[in-house]
Amino acid sequence: MLDRLAVSRLKGVGPRISERLARLGIQTVQDLLFHLPLRYQDRTRLVPIGELIPGDEALVEGEIREAGIAVGRRRSLKVWLTDGSGAGLLLRFFHFSSQQSTAFKPGARVRCFAEVREGYSSLEMVHPEYRFSSDWEVEPESRLTPVYPSTEGVQQSSWRGLTGQALDLLGAHPPPECLPAETLARLAMPSLVEALIYLHRPPREASLVDLQARCHPAFRRLAFEELVAHQVSLRRMRAVQRSIAAPVLEGGGELRRRLRQSLPFRLTEAQERVVVEIATDLLRDRPMQRLLQGDVGAGKTVVAALAALQALEAGRQAALMAPIELLSEQHHRSLKAWLRPLGVEPLWLAGRHRGGERADLLAAIACGRARLVVGTHALFQDEVVFPDLGLVIIDEQHRFGVLQRMKLRAKGDRAGCAPHQLIMTATPIPRSLAMTCYADLDLSVIDELPPGRTPVTTAAIPDSRRDEVIARVLNACRQGRQAYWVCTLIEESEALECQAAEESARRLSERLPGVRVGLVHGRLRTSERDSVMTGFAKGDLDLLVATTVIEVGMDVPNASLMIIENPERLGLAQLHQLRGRVGRGAVASHCLLLYRAPLSGVARERLAILRSTNSGFEIAEWDLALRGAGEVLGTRQTGAVQFRVADPVRDQGLVPAAQAVAEQILGRYPDLAGLLIARWLGAREVYGQV
């Protein structure tokens, strides 16, 4: 019932408040109940002023000793409070009315709540919540006070009033339990109603530490149910996928054999293992759904090429989609160099193709003449028609929304027959996240770098030592090595970033006599960018100044030095990807992180992690911990998996039990599966069935 009762039925919720609540996804009373507090305040006990600790939030009560308006750099109302505990407390208000200034009279008693700060001569509370003795109850509050995630125009007092009404309805109309009774008993978990009441109105004896860390049993109860819901959804999705037919891609192997013979290198054992896993999947009559993980430079492209050739040998088309044109161009160049001698001509389709050229490309795809197509998001536009698509390969999968990926796969659906799908990422997905969010996929890992790769030494250097860094670039170039200089800006503007790159290239050219400097950024014409990148790859340029467009797609073994400006503005995964442009040859390589002091605590931790390891898998675990699952998975895009209570890092210990319970529910309690999906995912489950 509560899942169908509009929140507008609650007292005090008019059209304006309804609209504001809808911004947070709250439309029903059940939505409101699952909108949990962000943190809690302890207003259940009075703290003597003499025992206050800076940084703590506290409830104090005292007598006003003095009050007045101070005129200085900022006009403020100052109120001195004492309680006989041997110390005084200053209440400071920068925004106040004349009514407030006259209300604080010496001798009056007042009760305040706020964060305690260290002041010039005493402890302070700035803009505390306060009540005079005539307004408060005799005793402090009997429960911890919840603080809710909010939006403009909805005060905390409103949240507490609305959740109070919702809790009253919860008691009268409890929602059904979606977990088997034996599961709750075995895991010693509270009921759903008990957990919700506890989290919205914790008793004064509740552990504030456990609640803030979201490891209290009540939080874990809800997190567990949400994890079970996701596991049920992923398993249902996998069952749907396995019920669909797929083309059996059984080629003769001639193209693959000839490609292997022509390669100037041998595949690593890890690559060979993954090639067998993929080839085996492609021989089945059910769609392959495989996630291929491999660190920067691990050799995923050649694995993808062998998979594509298997599809071509079986008389089917294959498509490879990358998130940006630069990477798709790089894939096209690599595949063309490998496959053209075999008589296979990869076609490239991107958003830049217009007019007659685009019409010719679309016609080649639609008639089946183009057997292997490489492109960007342009591939899943409606006008692109594949008559015989047998394999879809998605690179850098975290850059796409799930619906986008599924839309491309749907292009190969013919009379209930779907193409196989290989999803690749150079940003390794931590095991805890893969178990939680990719249970519908089989996992392959290239956990070995090709021979000859040397670890990259990483150092963080303040911008004040820029001259030393420039001298180091000059020395490297004079020794016949090449270098990258990556420009990033504080401002979120591609135009300004390109201007900064142009200015850096000009200044570096002046400071580096004899060094051939090239420039690449996203606003250059394709022909210009290709010319510069080709020149750098051939060794005609010594230093490439670029924006982050070189994050992927550049493979120059002679490049052994990378400078990244303002690295504190980038995430760990992106920094690791950029660093992966060097260390691709046998020469010792270095990455210098040229930061602007002072660094925030998070930025300092990020750069320290990057200096300590070259393992993409370790970095992925840290990236998950620092940024959260939403950022790592790209779940800010439409249709992707999102969590409301559970956290794959904090709650990874619950995942195995959640998987077991999901299997139990699907096998013995199928009716509960629908309730779980409706409660936790709603319409979002459809992304897996597109």
**What is the domain partition of the chain in residue ranges?**
7-41+146-213, 49-140, 254-446, 456-613
Owner of token pair 């008589």: 343
- Residue 412 confidence (pLDDT): 66
CATH class of 49-140: mainly beta
- Residue 636 confidence (pLDDT): 39
- Residue 634 confidence (pLDDT): 46
> Which tokens hold the place of 17?
């408040």
**Can you tell me the distance from the alpha carbon of 460 to that of 606, in angstroms, rounded to the nearest whole number?**
11
Give the architecture (CATH level 2) of 456-613: 3-Layer(aba) Sandwich (3.40)
Cis peptide before 37 (omega within 30 of 0): no
> Which tokens hold the place of 556?
């120059």
- Residue 638 confidence (pLDDT): 35
Task: Single out the residue of 465, 483, 680, 427 nearest to residue 594, CA to CA.
Answer: 465
- Residue 688 confidence (pLDDT): 41
β-strands 420-425, 39-41 pairing: unpaired
Query: Average pLDDT by consecutive 10-residue portion of the chain (690 residues)?
Result: 89 91 91 94 91 92 92 88 89 90 91 92 91 70 90 88 94 91 92 96 92 93 94 86 88 94 92 97 93 84 96 96 79 92 94 85 94 88 90 75 59 76 79 68 85 84 94 95 85 60 90 93 76 87 88 78 91 84 86 91 88 81 66 43 79 89 94 91 52
> Which tokens hold the place of 262?
């022509």
**Can you tell me the distance from the alpha carbon of 610 to that of 623, in angstroms, rounded to the nearest whole number?**
10
**Can you tell me the distance from the alpha carbon of 438 to that of 435, in angstroms, rounded to the nearest whole number?**
6
> With contact defined as beta carbons under 8 Å apart, do 413 and 240 qualify?
no
Domains 49-140 and 456-613 share a fold: no
**Can you tell me the distance from the alpha carbon of 413 to that of 606, in angstroms, rounded to the nearest whole number?**
43
β-strands 543-546, 517-520 pairing: parallel
Phi–psi pair at 92, nearest 5 degrees:
-125, 130
Specify the CATH number of the domain 254-446. Answer: 3.40.50.300
